[in-house]
Amino acid sequence: MSKPHVAILGLGIMGSGMAARLLSTGFPVSVFNRSREKSEPFSKAGAFVADSPREAASSSDIVISMVADDAASRGVWLGEGGALAGAARGSLLIESSTLGVAWVRELAALAVQRGCEFLDAPVTGTKPHAASGELFFMVGGSDAALAKARDVFAVLGRETIHLGPTGSGALIKLINNFVCGVQAASFAEALALVSAGGLDRDKCITVLSNSALASPLIKRMVASMAADDFSPNFPLKLMTKDIGYAIHEASDNGLALRTAAPALEVFKNAVAEGLGDQDFSAVLKSVKPSQ
């Protein structure tokens, strides 16, 4: 059987990796990005470069959005030039961005009105995982929609877990990211306390990196610090956004995330210091003993 035609909306760190992976495995691909220059390498690799999300969706069996936030998602799906207007009846629409649950459910309802199937399928992983097909998909939606996505998810990811109805994937992704944010902010403050207490920083990092708290996230932060390389695999400004979305989601469910709120302030301070476009691990640079 021929492979489905896939549209990728958004060629940022993750979307570009996904598009490249699909092209390298023989899928016909259309791409759309607001700044067209990001699309040129994909054109050379055989992708169709669309002038609008609508055009990208109109020739595709599966449409995947991977953009920054709710506003960007609305921008690519809605309106005369949006992907919903171009999507054919029976096509599968997948929102893989990290978004608010209310918007995801609204988008799913609009997809149904259009005669399309819909999945919310955010991912864990960063730039190298997207490029190598090692993402982890967290999916909300119907069994039938997921069945249509299996071949694409198998190429893009190492594992797919079906969590339940629409919005389930979106919610667990926010939960995952707020915990990551709290851990990153705590580690930044821990190193500030190391310095404030006059301890040997390198020796203390060795201790902390070999203790129970040495998660993959902490090890990645340590590696970025050691190399003095904070090139974005996951931009700090997006971590900030995700913590905020998680706090909002918890509030809607009658819960206060008491550890997330101070972590959000740590990340907001880092953004205010101009670190938003660097990797989230750059939060280490914003927490200083003088604070």
- 199-243: pLDDT as tens digits: 999 999 999 999 999 999 999 999 999 999 999 999 999 999 999
**Whole-number pLDDT of residue 201:** 96
154 with 40, same domain: the answer is yes
CA distance linking residue 100 with residue 89, whole number of Å: 26
How many residues would you count in the chain?
Answer: 291
Q: Residue 157 is part of a domain; what is its CATH number?
A: 3.40.50.720
Looking up residue 259, the CATH number of its domain turns out to be: 1.10.1040.10
The reply to whether 54 and 146 lie within a common domain is: yes
Structural domain includes residue 243: yes
291 within a domain of the structure (yes/no): no
User: 20: exposed, middle or buried (C-beta count within 10 Å: 0-12, 13-18, 19+)?
Assistant: buried
Residue 192: inside a domain, yes or no?
yes
The torsion defined by the Cα of 76, 80, 84 and 89, in degrees rounded to 10, comes to -160
Query: Do 70 and 187 lie in a common domain?
Result: no
Distance between CA atoms of 203 and 76, rounded to whole angstroms? 48
Look at residue 290 and tell me if it is in a domain: no
The pLDDT score that the predictor gives to residue 289 is 84
* 67-109 pLDDT tens trace: 999 999 999 999 999 999 999 999 999 999 999 999 999 999 9
Domain end point (choices 165, 187, 205) = 165
Expressed as residue numbers, the domain containing 94 is 6-165
In this structure, are 118 and 147 located in the same domain? yes
Residues 114 and 244 in one domain: no
Q: Looking at the structure, do residues 37 and 112 belong to the same domain, yes or no?
A: yes
pLDDT, position 1: 64
Judgement on whether residues 32 and 13 belong to the same structural domain of the protein: yes
Q: How many domains is the chain partitioned into structurally?
A: 2
- The reply to whether 173 belongs to the active site is yes
Which of 165, 198, 223 terminates a domain? The answer is 165
Same domain? For 155 and 200 the reply is: no
28 and 159 share one domain: yes
Name the active-site residue from 38, 148, 173, 241. 173
184 with 256, same domain: the answer is yes
The tens digit of pLDDT for each residue in 145-197 reads 999 999 999 999 999 999 999 999 999 999 999 999 999 999 999 999 999 99
H helical segments located in the chain: 13-24, 40-44, 53-58, 70-77, 83-86, 101-113, 127-132, 143-156, 168-196, 201-209, 216-227, 236-252, 260-272
The tens digit of pLDDT for each residue in 237-272 reads: 999 999 999 999 999 999 999 999 999 999 999 999
Q: Does 133 lie in the same domain as 258? A: no
Same domain, 43 and 150: yes
Residues 116-152 have pLDDT tens digits of 999 999 999 998 999 999 999 999 999 999 999 999 9
Does pLDDT of 291 surpass 60?
A: no
The most distant pair of C-alpha atoms in the chain lies apart, rounded to whole Å, by 65
The residue among 103, 134, 165 that closes a domain is 165
